[in-house]
Structure 1
Amino acid sequence: MLDVRTALSVGEIAQRSGVTVATLHFYESKGLIQAYRSAGNQRRYSRNTLRRVAIIKIAKRAGIPLADIKRAFDALPANRALTAEDWSNLSTAWRDLLTTRIDSLSQLRDQLDSCIGCGCLSMGECPLRNPDDTLAGQGAGAVLLEG
């Protein structure tokens, strides 16, 4: 339960976390953070919200989608501060995703000079987007492998 003596307003959370009030409302609408209503029907947040917002900012900077952040938060207790162990579990779960992304970007960097930049990316020579010209059967033009 929220301790009304230590609850923070949306403006206080925004100022202390470095995000806008609109961003906090958006995070709340996505279920990433939770506000309570005061007797005057104003949003109030527990101090634990500051740590959740900090984790959201870190995860977003690492390219973790908000849906993945929400899934991770859903596995944690909502009414207590996140612990170092919680952070360890979150970072471990995201490590594989980040490693895959880093490997993909490294491959792109290393092979980018061989790309002629034509835009069609359906040439048999393009190891970045169309290995072995697998998209040729779908017709000419830019056809992406990712769906």
Structure 2
Amino acid sequence: MNAINYCFSTFTPRIHAWGKDLKEAFEQCAMGVFGYITDLKMVSIEKYADVEVSGGDDEKSMLFRFLDDVLFLFNAEPFLIPKKIEILQMDWQNFRIRARCYGEVFNLDKHSQGTEVKAITYSNMQIHKKDDRVDVYVIIDI
């Protein structure tokens, strides 16, 4: 999909993301995390970083680990703010996700400062699958 499919709650720091499958919904949820941090329309693609997550035991634990590792990029890569996140591989038998995050270094001269996302939480995390759509809900710690 070309559009970013996520929305924010004004009362609780919650991301509601969706896509045609788990892959797309997870990608959109990760973009939602960074949508709290800055206006993603101002982000360019200048570099990329890869993320590999493993060790979960169900879809929720993999979503948590994936979002946690992608958020870690912001602090470790230094301050990489993705404009696009692409999951390259989802292996549910071995609970492994491999993804590439495309973006640039966060720069206050270029990017608006939104809300700092401190952590991803399991609190009320939900994954709903329908025939042609997957919705995920994640509360973040700000």
TM-score by length of 1: 0.26
Larger relative helix fraction: 1
TM-score, normalised relative to structure 2: 0.26
**Which gives a bigger RCO, structure 1 or 2 (Cα 8 Å, sep 6+)?**
2
Q: Which of the two has greater strand per residue?
A: 2
Larger radius of gyration: 1
